[in-house]
Amino acid sequence: MILHEMIDYDTLRVIWWALLGVLLIGFALTDGFDMGAGALLPFVAKTDTERRVVINTVGPVWEGNQVWFILGGGAIFAAWPPLYAVSFSGFYLAMFVVLAAFIVRPVAFKYRSKRDDATWRARWDWALFAGGAVPALIFGVAVGNVLLGVPFYLTDDLMPMYDGSFYGKFLGLLRPFAILAGVVSFSMLLMHGAAWLTLKTEGPIAERARRIGAVAGMTAAGGYALAGLWLAVGIDGFALVNDVVPAGPSNPLFSEVSREGSWLTAYWLRPWIIVAPVMGFVGIALAVMGLRAGREVSTLLWSKMAITGIIASVGLTMFPFILPSTVAPDSSLTVWDASSSHQTLFIMLVCALIFMPLILAYTSWVYKVLWGKVTEADVNENADTLY
């Protein structure tokens, strides 16, 4: 097949690097408010009816939202197989905890209100809280570890191996900078969940959500600024040494990598990427003001802009690195040497171009059908059929 040569291999790699970002952002924007609302559940809703209101704001949409996570996994597998292989086996136990959260959360949504029993419901409420809070924290910790570099290396057969001090040890992930990144992602998603509840609920629930959301937003902004400062002064970046062949074969061992300078030199090389962190800070500021003033639609939009900016800033800062290695920098995965073949990237792009617009269209339609607030009256009238 010659068709795939219509687009250069290196161009396709950059497109798929951007699409990887789109998927992660799509996941954070949609499933993010589910996780945020789950983490807020015990604090914004006190009575059983209030809790059911919060649960039912996400009840009809969490399944679709969670697919962003699954699609993210599938797309990394298809477009960045070495990344899929190294990261999920390297973060093995952390991934297991995330999976556990994503398994228990759907079940909790579905089964919680199927029995009229306070102990039963309290247990599932706890599961919803943990199912939202724990992944929100772990995703940030994982991103922090990626910025610090991960202790893996590739054998000559490209078998991923892990340094003993790290691999298998969940606690090895909890380095101070990574914890800070976890705090940023947790508080960012808490703010997002609060913005969602402001839009979808009313009365005391919405008021509590707004109060907590404003604090969470300010925490996220502070943590994000601190992380930037830390990257500037305390953490070494990675750089490609030899001339890269952007359209070369996907073998990470073919390139030479050194640890020098700072990640933030990227802002000197490509000044326009400053847009991303600016979006992050401005988005948070406007979302916090919106929460305080009780604005609904605009607050959620600003919160989305903040999340987009923060996630994009990580990818843009690291480009072309995707997963740097501390113990064997030459094994680091980059955009130029960790992708699928030219043909697979092309076929997957065609599929994405066909289906992504469809997905966005029908997802928007579903949100439109479900538009409007969930109230205590709704829950009481439909006590048998709602979550």
Asked if 22 touches another protein (CB under 8 A), the answer is no
Residue 160 or 217 having the CB closest to another protein: 160
Q: Least Å distance between CB 111 and another protein?
A: 6
SS (H, E, C) 304-358: HHHHHHHHHHHHHHHCCEEECECCCHHHCEECCCCCCCHHHHHHHHHHHHHHHHH
Return the residue of 63, 232, 241, 270 that touches another protein, per CB under 8 A: 63
Q: Which of 14, 42, 49, 74 binds another protein (CB under 8 A)?
A: 74
Q: Which of 11, 46, 47, 106 binds another protein (CB under 8 A)?
A: 106
Q: Which positions ≥6 away from 112 have C-beta within 8 Å?
A: 55, 120, 121, 124, 125, 128, 387
**What CA–CA distance (Å, rounded) separates 45 from 28?**
23
- Residues 93, 226, 285, 327: which binds another protein (CB under 8 A)? 93
Residue 70 is a binding residue for another protein (CB under 8 A): yes
Among 37, 183, 287, 348, binds another protein (CB under 8 A): 348
Residue 17 CB, shortest distance to another protein, in Å, is 15
Tokens of 247: 């359209």
| Interactions with another protein, residue window 354-373 (CB under 8 A) | 355-356, 359, 362-363, 366, 369-370
CB of 175 to another protein, least distance (A): 20
Stretch 236-255 residues interacting with another protein (CB under 8 A): 249-251, 254
CB atoms within 10 A of CB 22: 17
Residue placing its CB nearer to another protein in the complex, 24 or 221: 24
Q: Is 226 in the site for another protein (CB under 8 A)?
A: no
340 in contact with another protein (CB under 8 A): yes
Distance CA 162, CA 107 (A): 34
List residues bridging with 323 in a β-sheet.
Answer: 333
The interface with another protein within residues 125-144 (CB under 8 A) comprises none
> For another protein, which is the closer residue by CB, 124 or 238?
124
* Residue 64 within binding range of another protein, rule CB under 8 A: yes
Instruction: Measure the CA–CA gap between 48 and 51, rounded to whole angstroms.
Output: 5
Does the protein bind another protein through residue 89 (CB under 8 A)?
Answer: yes
Identified binder of another protein from the candidate list 15, 22, 347, 349, rule CB under 8 A: 347
Q: Which is nearer to another protein, 43 or 365 (CB)?
A: 365
- Cβ proximity to another protein: between 119 and 272 the closer is 119
In sequence order, the 6+-apart residues with CB closer than 8 A to the CB of 30 are 61, 64, 65, 68
CA pair distance 283, 306, nearest whole angstrom: 4
Residue 293 is a binding residue for another protein (CB under 8 A): no
37 touches another protein by CB under 8 A: no
CA dihedral defined by 147, 149, 154, 158, rounded to 10 degrees? -10
CB of 15 to another protein, least distance (A): 15
Task: List, in sequence order, the alpha helices (H) in the chain.
Answer: 9-44, 48-58, 62-79, 81-90, 92-111, 118-148, 176-200, 203-233, 266-269, 275-293, 297-318, 342-369, 376-381
- Regarding 6 and contact with another protein (CB under 8 A), the answer is no
Choose, by CB under 8 A, the member of 21, 42, 81, 222 that binds another protein.
81
Q: How far apart are CA 311 and CA 187, in angstroms?
A: 14
Which of 298, 270, 281, 160 has its CA nearest to residue 224? 281
- Each residue 147-176 as x (binds another protein by CB under 8 A) or -, in order, gives ---------xxxxxxx----xx--------
CB-based contacts of 92, cutoff 8 Å, min separation 6: 167, 168
Q: Least CB distance from residue 110 to another protein, whole Å?
A: 4
Contacting another protein (CB under 8 A), which of 60, 204, 222, 228?
60
Q: Which two tokens stand for residue 188?
A: 């960012």
Residue 311 near residue 303, CB atoms below 8 Å: no
Placement of tokens 């490509």 in the chain: 270
Q: How far is the CB of 226 from another protein (least distance, A)?
A: 31
- Please pick, from the candidates 18, 99, 275, 293, the single residue that binds another protein as defined by CB under 8 A: 99
